[in-house]
Amino acid sequence: MKKTLFDKVWDAHVVHQIEAGPDVLFIDRHMVHEVTSPVAFLGLKNRKIGVLYAQRTFATADHNTPTINQHLPVEDPLSANQLAALEKNAKEHNISYWGLGHEKNGIVHVVGPEYGITLPGATIVCGDSHTSTHGAFGAIAFGIGTSEVEMVLASQCIMQPKPKKMRITVDGALQKGVSPKDVALFIISQLSTSGATGYFVEYAGSTFRDMSMEGRMTVCNLSIEMGARGGMIAPDQKTFEYIQGREFTPKGNDWDTAMNYWSTLHTDEGAAFDKEFFFDGSSIEPMITFGTNPGMGIGIQKSIPQAENSGKATYEKSLNYMGFSQGDEMIGKKIDFVFLGSCTNGRIEDFRAFSEIVKGRKKADHVTAWLVPGSHQVRKAIENEGLLQILEEAGFELREPGCSACLAMNDDKIPAGKYAVSTSNRNFEGRQGPGARTLLASPIMAAAAAVTGQVTDPRTLL
């Protein structure tokens, strides 16, 4: 039978099929962080059971951590308590723990690939919806709730009905100034914020093949923003070169065995999908969002569209929150904050792109910019590649790693009513702080906004 990439990986992990019910799916690698795990560990305690395979779970602190002065005790007692709980739980169950200040600490979806925890053909879950990031390596990776975190800790399995399959094919070379983030925001704008709900997506076509692994991670990361549980890209030479030799990747004979398996991980010619979309990559423009969900995005040269009849009240509520009107142009809108970072765009390539624009320019005086690397490894690379100097000369400071203003659980909150151009993943009301107004964009669009103080087509600065 002809199988899709998704079928091959899913079917290889089904431990048990429940009649007219979900599949019992084996999980190869499980990542946990401080926010969605404590109640799961509490559940184990109440049941008086342990973790079945501690070596398959990896803990890191990221959501709730400060991005300055990480050497000091965490000031907020609630955050400190949650971080302490993760450390205690990890130690009690012999789970690897990369806490605050640890050299391998960083955002869970940045450090997973950095250390080879993320592998092709694996099933990877985490109590975080952006777990879809790891699909860039040809893994089935998706976010789960805390009850499911407890299931994985207790049994290394979860129960999931098999989702439907969607393929999104994008072919063609991207224009100069158009990044993987723009491709993802474009796709989401076409499908809407719920257009892929119930589906698992495979991204196919030359546009994705030509992307770096970092770029593919950005695309897969944003799968959830159109409702998909996850998205994946068939592994290729680029994937294997990226993972080889990393700490947790197979070595020696195990590598060869794994490579034999991985080379089978592609969709068979003629395999069926429940839904297919095709787009021309060469016509995608730099994108920016204007509303309060990631589907409300437009090409930078366009103006805010008129409401359609269905959903008009929700659309107007959204624009009202943003302080925008139908027909407004985005270019020239004054902005107050810039956020570079997150599991979407907090990798070295994103800092390279940002630096390219700000090099030799100066940050606009009225803009507050938070540049937050996704991990210590990214931070070190920024220093080693000389980017830190470029950033500092342009008036920027580099912070310490974490999720930061993406979800504003720590002190990095955009004030009410202020506009932030953010490289993160969600522009929901209050996402970056109560009353904050978020414009999602690529790292170079964020850089262009940071130096001009307004929404700017980054191509004019290239």
Partner 1 sequence: MAYEKFTVLQSTAVPLPIENVDTDQIIPARFLKATERKGFGDNLFRDWRYNQDNTPKADFVLNNPTFSGKILVGGKNFGSGSSREHAAWAVYDYGFRCVVSSFFADIFKNNCLNIGVLPVQVSESFLSLIFDAIEKNPNTSMTVDLPNQTITLDEIGKHENFDINPYKKENLQNGYDDIDYLLNLKEQIKDFAQNRPF
Site for partner 1 in 263-302 (CB under 8 A): 293
Residues 40-99 touching partner 1, rule: CB under 8 A, are 42-43, 46-47, 49, 52-53, 63-64, 76, 78-79, 81-82, 85
Residue position matching structure tokens 């920016």? 288
The CA distance from 429 to 343, in Å, is 20
Q: Which of residues 352, 435, 459, 461 is near partner 1 by CB under 8 A? A: 435
Q: Which of residues 65, 156, 221, 289 is near partner 1 by CB under 8 A? A: 156
Residues 162-181 touching partner 1, rule: CB under 8 A, are 163
Q: Where is 202: in which H helix or E strand?
A: strand 199-204
User: Is 193 one of the binding residues for partner 1 (CB under 8 A)?
Assistant: yes
Provide, rounded to whole angstroms, the least separation between the CB of residue 374 and partner 1.
Answer: 18
Minimal CA–CA distance to 24: which of 11, 35, 34?
A: 11
* CB-based burial label for 338 (10 Å; 0-12, 13-18, 19+): buried
217 or 409, CB closer to partner 1? 409
Residues 348-377 touching partner 1, rule: CB under 8 A, are none
The CA distance from 280 to 286, in Å, is 14
User: Is 387 one of the binding residues for partner 1 (CB under 8 A)?
Assistant: no
Minimal CA–CA distance to 88: which of 163, 37, 135?
A: 37
Provide, rounded to whole angstroms, the least separation between the CB of residue 266 and partner 1.
Answer: 18
CA distances from 221 to 107, 137, 224, 244, 245 (A): 13, 12, 7, 22, 24
Provide, rounded to whole angstroms, the least separation between the CB of residue 361 and partner 1.
Answer: 33
Structure tokens at 302: 């366009």
Provide, rounded to whole angstroms, the least separation between the CB of residue 251 and partner 1.
Answer: 11
Provide, rounded to whole angstroms, the least separation between the CB of residue 300 and partner 1.
Answer: 23
123 or 207, CB closer to partner 1? 123
35 or 439, CB closer to partner 1? 35
138 or 205, CB closer to partner 1? 138
Provide, rounded to whole angstroms, the least separation between the CB of residue 178 and partner 1.
Answer: 26
Structure tokens at 244: 């080889």
- DSSP state string for 8-23: HHHHTTEEEE-TTS-E
Chain CA centroid to CA 79, Å? 22
Q: Which of residues 129, 133, 218, 452 is near partner 1 by CB under 8 A? A: 129
74 or 358, CB closer to partner 1? 74
Looking only at the bridges linking them, the beta strands covering 419-422 and 437-440 are parallel
Residues 389-428 touching partner 1, rule: CB under 8 A, are 407-409, 413, 416, 426, 428
Sheet with 337-340: strands ordered across: 368-371, 337-340, 419-422, 437-440
25 or 390, CB closer to partner 1? 25
Chain CA centroid to CA 344, Å? 4
Residues 101-120 touching partner 1, rule: CB under 8 A, are 119
57 or 179, CB closer to partner 1? 57
Provide, rounded to whole angstroms, the least separation between the CB of residue 35 and partner 1.
Answer: 5
Residues 213-242 touching partner 1, rule: CB under 8 A, are 224, 227, 229
Choices 30-38, 104-112, 327-335, 384-392; region in contact with partner 1 by CB under 8 A: 30-38
Minimal CA–CA distance to 193: which of 92, 290, 292?
A: 292
The CA distance from 344 to 340, in Å, is 10
- DSSP state string for 89-101: HHHHTT-EEE-TT
22 or 245, CB closer to partner 1? 22
